Amino acid sequence: MKDLRNCKLCAWECGVDRLEGERGVCRVTEPVVASKQLHPAPPASYTVFLGGCNYRCLNCQNWDIAHYPDNPEGRVLGRQDPRELAVEAVNMIETPQGRAIGADRIFFSGGEPTIHLPYVEEVVEHFREVTDLWKVNFDTNGFATRRSMRRIVRLADSITFDFKAYSDELHRALTGAPVEPVLRNLELLIPSHLDLIWEVRILLIPEAHDEEEIRGMCEFLADLDESVPVCFLAFRPNFVLERHPGAPRRLMRRAVEIARECGLENASWSGLPDLEGEVPPRVRNHRKALLNRYGGHEGAALMAGYAREVGCPRHPRDCGGCPRMAECPVKRYRAARRT
């Protein structure tokens, strides 16, 4: 756990001493398990959700996990001994329930597991000692340092990669972080470690991801390798975007068409489309005021409008440089709606 003494695991490189209780952008000190369960979603697995995240996404569906410890509804089980968790994962995969869903790996998710990388490595080390049958999946937003991404490659049998946006303006508006480290890590992974990519997942939010944004993401991925598997996910209203409309079916179908036009061979979509919602008038007014700060990107300005509505003071969003990083109103938001 020495890496937590001067934490530079993710691209924020905060340098805080988490073992002494100092908190960086993720606001987490020691690694904690939020929940764990057999999960049928591909790849079927024993999924371990770790508390905390280095992003502050407006649309987070696991917001009570990701925004631990700052969110009033934040929930975690606590720290668990790495060997104990490894043995538990193997035992659960080998239960009748695990076999029934086809579980064949331990799956680290969150939140964002990169901020707990030394702990994950310890669990995986014990996992490999216990079994040579089952695999390891690492689910990431890609906001890792080069060194951390190389460590992820060494420990994982598969990687699920959440690609939020291609343009820096939209990426910042949605997550509070710059996009460059994410693009850099995709450039590392796809050409050299394509066999590890289970899929690149792209959540499509109406009025945020327009055809130009989708095409930019697809062209970027196709330039790296046209065979990379891509799955578009239908946005469901959640967290700060709890009142926003869900992704319509026509957007999902059009995204797959654009992917194929760009040369991507393995594009699909998944999720529950057409959930009802409406952009609040105040958020649209904020978009007008913020448009110039987001380079004229209408979708980014609209998403930033939601952030401003709940009190985010810094635009373009930059959580690493925000004076209210330790008391972020986004992290403290309590959603009334879950979908």
Query: Which residues have C-beta within 8 Å of that of residue 127, sequence separation ≥ 6?
Result: 86, 89, 90, 106, 134, 136
Write the pLDDT tens digit of every residue in 267-306.
999 999 999 999 999 999 999 999 999 999 999 999 999 9
Share of the chain above pLDDT 70, in %: 100
Average pLDDT over residues 80-86: 98
**CA-to-CA distance for 152 and 51, rounded, in angstroms?**
18
pLDDT band at 75 (very low <50, low <70, confident <90, very high): confident
Examine the pLDDT at 109 and tell me if it is beyond 90. yes
> What local confidence, expressed as pLDDT, does residue 119 receive?
98
The rounded mean pLDDT for the chain is 97
Contact call for residues 170 and 303 (beta carbons, < 8 A): yes
Examine the pLDDT at 41 and tell me if it is beyond 90. no
Residue 293 lies in a domain: no
Residue 296 lies in a domain: no
**CA-to-CA distance for 217 and 222, rounded, in angstroms?**
9
**CA-to-CA distance for 248 and 210, rounded, in angstroms?**
12
Would you say how long the chain is, in residues? Answer: 339
Strand boundaries in 40-103, DSSP class E? 45-50
Q: Note the pTM of the prediction, 2 decimals.
A: 0.97
Examine the pLDDT at 128 and tell me if it is beyond 90. yes
- What is the three-class DSSP state of 245? coil
Q: Which domain holds residue 236?
A: 2-280
Contact call for residues 273 and 235 (beta carbons, < 8 A): no
Closest by CA to 299, choosing from 164, 174, 162, 141, is: 174
**CA-to-CA distance for 165 and 294, rounded, in angstroms?**
14
Tokens 């490189």 belong to 13
Start-end of H helices in 166-269: 168-175, 180-192, 211-224, 249-261
Contact call for residues 65 and 110 (beta carbons, < 8 A): yes
**CA-to-CA distance for 294 and 277, rounded, in angstroms?**
24
Sheet strand arrangement including 229-234? 33-39, 45-50, 105-109, 135-140, 158-162, 197-204, 229-234, 266-270
Paired tokens of 45: 């697995």
* Rg of the Cα atoms in the chain: 19
Examine the pLDDT at 1 and tell me if it is beyond 90. no
Q: Which amino acid is at 204?
A: L
> What local confidence, expressed as pLDDT, does residue 337 receive?
87
- What is the three-class DSSP state of 38? strand
Average pLDDT over residues 200-222: 98
> What local confidence, expressed as pLDDT, does residue 74 receive?
86
Residue 27 lies in a domain: yes
CATH number at residue 84: 3.20.20.70
pLDDT band at 58 (very low <50, low <70, confident <90, very high): very high
Question: How many domains does the chain contain in total?
Answer: 1
Residue 234 lies in a domain: yes
Query: Which residues have C-beta within 8 Å of that of residue 187, sequence separation ≥ 6?
Result: 224
